[in-house]
Chain A
Amino acid sequence: MSENITKNQTTPALPSVSPTPHVRDKSSTGKIMGCVLLGLLPATALGVYNFGPRALVIVISCMALCAFFEWGFEKICKKKNTIGDLSAVLTGLLLALNLPVNVPWYIPLIGSFFAIVVVKQLFGGLGQNFMNPALGARCFLVLSFSRYMTDFSYKSGWGSADVISSATPLADVKNGLGFNLTSMFLGNEAGTIGETSALAILIGGIFLLCMGVITWHLSFMYLLSLIVFVAVFGGRGFDVEYLAAHLFGGGLMLGAFFMATDYVTRPITKRGQIIYGIFLGILTGIFRIFGPGAEGVSYAIIIGNLIVPLIEKITVPRHFGYRKAAKE
């Protein structure tokens, strides 16, 4: 026996052993995150086009800062560097798309720190956070720096120097003022950098659906339940234009396709995702119609994140060949 072992040790290339299976799919976390980044490209590009160079600076600095904080925290804690999985960069982009273009320079800095260090890394890093980091940071910023976070005045495009000071279309809708559906759909309206164009977000969302990164269950149920809620409680009945304004306005599209669908903070089963989507739609409806502000998506998703464990508990799928345990 011992002779055998020594013989094996001197063999130059001993084949490696591992448990089954011995083959692997080509997917990886980095590829998935990369797909989502690509999906956000239309919304980002349109945001930069609408809001000018300042938007581009905010986008780039948020992405860089998030990557930096992830790297730094992991360096200090002597953890493995995980920038390569692109999740921090994605958080940065999502955060930037949720900021108004006029925020002072320290807002991206604080937001990135809060998202990566407080919401994500302190809870154990990727996969352990119970809250969407970008949204957590946005809510923190809205509560702490409300003045900057709700100032949606902007200089239109790249050349003009005129500051357009206007409320978001959703606020107009809420206050019973007029709104322009076409510009809400295309995105030349006031709002955060990435949320204004329903069209650009839809293109990205369809891309994610085609790539299999997300499925229809969550996003579709979210949009549907919000429409139903608004139709019932909005006070305008089944007014198509009013419903469309709710659909295209505010952060709903961005939230439904890119924030609520965040893998880590949504239920894992399809049934759970349907329930979660409905819950988000109702919460968003309540916040938008009965709440003090016009917007409700961020808070709805953050609160939704908190009840995900409960949804998971009641949606454990029945296994293959399930029988009622009557006999035992």
Chain B
Amino acid sequence: MSLLSFKGGIHPYDGKELSKNKAIIDAQAGKELVYPLSQHIGAPAKAIVAKGARVLCGQCIAEAGGFVSAPVYSSVSGTVKGIEKRRSVTGDMIDSIIIENDGEYEQADPITDKAYEDMSREEVIDVIKKAGIVGMGGAGFPTHVKLSPKDPDKIDTVIVNCAECEPYLTSDYRKMLEEPDKLIGGLQIEVGLFKNARGILAIEDNKPDCIRLLKEKTKGIANISVAVLKTKYPQGSERQLIYAVTKRAINSKMLPADAGCIVNNVDTVIAINNAVREGQPLIYRIVTVSGDAIKEPGNFKVRTGTDYNDLIEAAGGFKCTPQKIISGGPMMGFALFDTHVPVTKTSSAVLCMSEDEVAKWEPTACINCGRCVDVCPSRLIPSQLADHASHFNDEEFAALYGMECVECGSCSYVCPAKRQLAQMIKSMRRLQLAKRKK
């Protein structure tokens, strides 16, 4: 069988060997934990604890601020020190709850005591909503919203995004190897929500051990199977993944549900399992700490709210002065100028690089070589879009379908003139989206 894939894409150096074989270990939480009220797409959560209050580990400290929103839980026990603006990974100052860790880790009651077998469809979704689960791959879209499409009967494919196509990231890989039962358990819960659905674990072929393990584990399960994807970036992009698995192509105006699909990331599916079967709210996540400036790269189970500095410390600290620190993968992550920021539900990695590859090159004139066209997974003409974007030509930008860009950055990666194509297109998209809102 030929491998499932899409047209376009790139093959960057993947750097996964740095942390691939490091089993997940617990990272110690620091003295002070910071919980931004906005860790997801949608309305910010509303704080429900006051300064000075004592909170327990797994206690809700902020409730959802609307339907498209998610509550926030404390991942330690301790005292609320205040609610103030703190810097987040994107550089913005966001209202955050500050909790002083008392080191006791006194547990709060589970969010549900009902057994999964006794729950109705609505109750399952409600538990997922209550647990504060959001898309943990990076976007942070509230999962309960994803699981409530207009017409649930039309959903026929529930895909777990096990591609992990971003270079350096190995957290999903480790989870698949270490907690396959929880992953399959979570997927079964999801599939159980839709009566016509089958579950698919979509894995890139650079993880043969995961493919073997999960194929074996799912052998006896009728409606769950493993799909092998070609290793290529951005294979894990939602639209490209749906196409690779089902051959259905959707555009920016459509939702995965329009193609009968629901897509969730590995960590999210495990969080669903833990919430529904064990009553655990979302207070942990797995983070890869890697890069050539890190002493002991590895994968860590981290309490949300932990400071990035503590996480870097857990990985042995710096080997040399990092020139660039990235939260997330090198293709779509955020560059940090300050590591004093908290781990949130969507932090997948901290990468510390001894050299900044972007600063090494200076953008030069476009020679119209067309490499960006060849790799664009949305089949656009990035060089021309970037040109229109830099001149603020709204109409031309729209005529070349600029809004269809998935911001994967493949165009900037291949550009021999080292132009910041993705950046220009992205900025223009933001501008257009802001105009639409008006």
> A residues near B, CB below 8 A?
8, 13-25, 27-29, 31-32, 82, 85, 87, 125-128, 263-264, 266, 268-269, 316-323
Contacts and interface: CB of A to CB of B under 8 A. Distances in A.
A113 to B, nearest CB: 21
Given A20-B331, A20-B422, 16 more contacts: A15-B337, A18-B324, A19-B422, A19-B426, A22-B333, A23-B13, A24-B361, A125-B365, A127-B365, A266-B368, A317-B373, A317-B381, A320-B377, A320-B378, A321-B251, A321-B254
Interface residues of B, number: 70
A25, A29, A31, A126 pick with most chain B CB within 10 angstroms: A25
Interface of B: 6, 10, 12-13, 91, 167, 239-240, 243, 249-252, 254, 321-326, 330-338, 353, 356-361, 364-371, 373, 377-381, 383-384, 399-401, 404, 407, 409-410, 412-418, 420, 422-423, 426
B321 A264 contact: no
Contacts of B407: 20
B404 A320 contact: yes
* A14, A15, A126: most-surrounded residue (chain B CB, <10 A): A15
Contacts of A28: 361, 416-418
21 contacts: A13-B321, A13-B323, A15-B323, A15-B335, A15-B336, A18-B356, A18-B359, A20-B334, A24-B357, A28-B361, A31-B416, A126-B367, A127-B365, A268-B381, A269-B381, A316-B381, A320-B239, A320-B251, A320-B379, A321-B250, A321-B254
Contacts, number: 163
Which of B368, B377, B407, B413 gathers most chain A CB within 10 Å?
B368
Nearest to B382: A268
B interface: dominant SS: loop
Closest 7 CB pairs of A and B: A321-B251, A21-B409, A19-B423, A127-B365, A17-B335, A321-B249, A319-B401
A22 B326 contact: yes
Interface centre among B371, B400, B422 (most CB of A within 10 A): B371
Nearest to A265: B368
Contacts of A32: 367, 369, 416
B378 A319 contact: yes
Contact of B12 (A23, A27, A269, A322): A23
A23 B324 contact: no
Nearest to B364: A29
Contact of A127 (B254, B332, B366, B412): B366
Nearest to B13: A23
Contact of A320 (B249, B333, B334, B335): B249
Nearest to A124: B365
A21 B330 contact: yes
Question: Which residue, A20, A87, A269, has most C-beta atoms of chain B within 10 A?
Answer: A20
Given A16-B323, A19-B423, A264-B367, A319 B404 contact: yes
Contact of A21 (B332, B383, B399, B404): B332
A16 B334 CA distance: 11
Given A29-B364, A126-B367, A317 B416 contact: no
B324 A22 contact: yes
B370 A263 contact: yes
Given A15-B336, A17-B335, A320-B378, A23 B364 contact: no
A24 B367 contact: no
A320 B240 CA distance: 9
Contact of B336 (A17, A23, A127): A17
Contacts of A127: 365-368, 417
B416 A268 contact: no
B378 A22 contact: no
A318 B335 contact: no
Nearest to A28: B416
Contacts of B326: 22
